[in-house]
């Protein structure tokens, strides 16, 4: 009979010393000029592209599937740039975690449009679900918006299992977010929205087969959350999409879009399709800035094979 492994409670256990050392090194790098970290992010992205074959293959499959009308050359260009943007999102997150000065990022905000959609909802006492696709710049944009609009916001996120990472992430999120919520317990977030607050919410994750319907997303029948519409219906919150893109000069353009029309409805399939059709053009404008390294289409309907397993000729659960 196998002995149960003892659960390590202390974050200072020798098992985690390497992680603490890594944090110390990242902290030193975070104090370097932003221009250096921007180039470092590019290097990290290229290293991931050339060295992490499984991640690159997921990205290739996603791009080839979603942009089959583009040439191989253009697909490869998007894939490589998406890794560069992923690397820069890491150095941005690092910079925010150990910020030298609040003025360090002042030059990164180029424009914000559509603020009235947010203000009108909040001023009327209505909560706001800020619907964002997983664009790689989300961390920096969240900070820039907080500073620009001075509107407290909360976020739903997946807590890391590693206790060191969990504590680190929670401390940093608590620094910038009004509250953080977990998908496994929606009640606190529902109450928060009902009282007229703003929550960042990503509806483009693969939810699995539970609480999902299959509707087209870039032409692929994708498992899509029904929870988004349910939350909006239960709280009366406005579902307002947001788009944000990094410009060539490193700064960002941010835009709030009009609240979704006829949302939520009484049809979960129509609601899910409404969300996907809203997110698609946001992603298509700068596809290289989206998180394509994620297995968005992993969940499939019974009897079908995942696009990630077609090469193997089988469908893993």
* Contact call for residues 252 and 109 (beta carbons, < 8 A): yes
In this prediction, residue 262 carries a pLDDT of: 93
Candidate from 117-121, 177-181, 216-220, 240-244 with smallest mean pLDDT = 177-181
Total count of domains within the chain: 1
In a domain, 146, yes or no: yes
> What is the domain range of residue 132?
103-289
pLDDT digits (tens, 9 = 90+) for 148-172: 888 888 888 777 778 888 888 778 7
In a domain, 215, yes or no: yes
Q: What is the DSSP letter of 182?
A: B
In a domain, 210, yes or no: yes
Identify the CATH number of the domain in which residue 165 sits.
3.40.1130.10
Stretch (H or E) spanning 221 = strand 220-225
* Contact call for residues 254 and 144 (beta carbons, < 8 A): yes
In a domain, 198, yes or no: yes
Mean pLDDT of 222-238: 96
In a domain, 312, yes or no: no
Q: Which residues contact 143 (CB under 8 A, 6 or more apart)?
A: 96, 105, 176
In a domain, 124, yes or no: yes
Inter-CA distances, 41 with 84, 94, 208, Å: 7, 10, 32
Give the residue among 225, 222, 236 at the shortest CA–CA distance from 129. 236
Q: What count of other Cβ atoms lies within 10 Å of the Cβ of residue 69?
A: 8
Confidence of residue 40 (pLDDT cuts 50, 70, 90): very high
Candidate from 53-62, 98-107, 296-305 with smallest mean pLDDT = 98-107
In a domain, 314, yes or no: no
* Contact call for residues 278 and 260 (beta carbons, < 8 A): yes
CA atoms within 13 A on the CB side of 145: 27
In this prediction, residue 315 carries a pLDDT of: 44
pLDDT digits (tens, 9 = 90+) for 195-209: 999 999 999 999 998
222 three-state secondary structure: strand
Q: Please give the Cα distance from 85 to 87 (Å, whole number).
A: 5
Look at the block and give the residue holding tokens 């910038």.
176
Q: Please give the Cα distance from 162 to 164 (Å, whole number).
A: 6
In a domain, 160, yes or no: yes
Q: Is the dihedral of CA 55, 34, 22, 165 positive or negative?
A: negative
pLDDT digits (tens, 9 = 90+) for 206-225: 999 888 999 999 999 999 99
pTM score, two decimals? 0.90
């Amino acid at each position: 009979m196998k002995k149960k492994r003892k659960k390590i409670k202390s974050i200072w256990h020798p098992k985690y010393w390497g992680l603490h050392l890594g944090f110390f090194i990242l902290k030193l790098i975070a104090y370097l000029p932003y221009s250096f970290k921007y180039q470092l992010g590019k290097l990290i992205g290229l290293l991931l592209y050339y060295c992490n074959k499984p991640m690159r293959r997921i990205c290739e499959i996603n791009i080839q599937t979603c942009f089959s009308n583009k040439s191989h050359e253009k697909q490869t260009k998007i894939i490589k740039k998406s890794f560069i943007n992923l690397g820069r999102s890491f150095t941005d997150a690092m910079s925010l975690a150990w910020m030298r000065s609040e003025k360090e990022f002042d030059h990164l905000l180029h424009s914000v449009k559509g603020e009235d959609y947010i203000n009108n909802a909040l001023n009327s006492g209505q909560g706001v679900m800020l619907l964002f696709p997983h664009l790689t710049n989300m961390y920096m944009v969240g900070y820039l918006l907080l500073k620009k609009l001075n509107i407290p916001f909360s976020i739903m996120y997946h807590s890391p299992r590693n206790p060191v990472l969990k504590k680190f992430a929670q401390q940093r999120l608590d620094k910038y977010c009004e509250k953080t919520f977990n998908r496994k317990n929606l009640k606190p977030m529902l109450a928060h929205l009902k009282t007229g607050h703003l929550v960042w919410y990503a509806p483009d994750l693969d939810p699995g087969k539970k609480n999902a319907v299959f509707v087209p997303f870039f032409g692929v029948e994708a498992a899509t959350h029904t929870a988004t519409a349910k939350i909006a219906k239960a709280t009366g919150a406005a579902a307002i999409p947001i788009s944000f893109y990094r410009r060539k000069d490193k700064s960002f353009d941010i835009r709030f879009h009009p609240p979704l029309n006829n949302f939520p409805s009484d049809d979960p399939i129509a609601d899910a399709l409404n969300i996907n059709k809203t997110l698609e053009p946001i992603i298509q404008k700068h596809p290289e800035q989206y998180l394509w390294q994620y297995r968005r289409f992993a969940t499939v309907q019974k009897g079908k094979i995942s696009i990630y397993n077609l090469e193997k000729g089988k469908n893993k659960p």
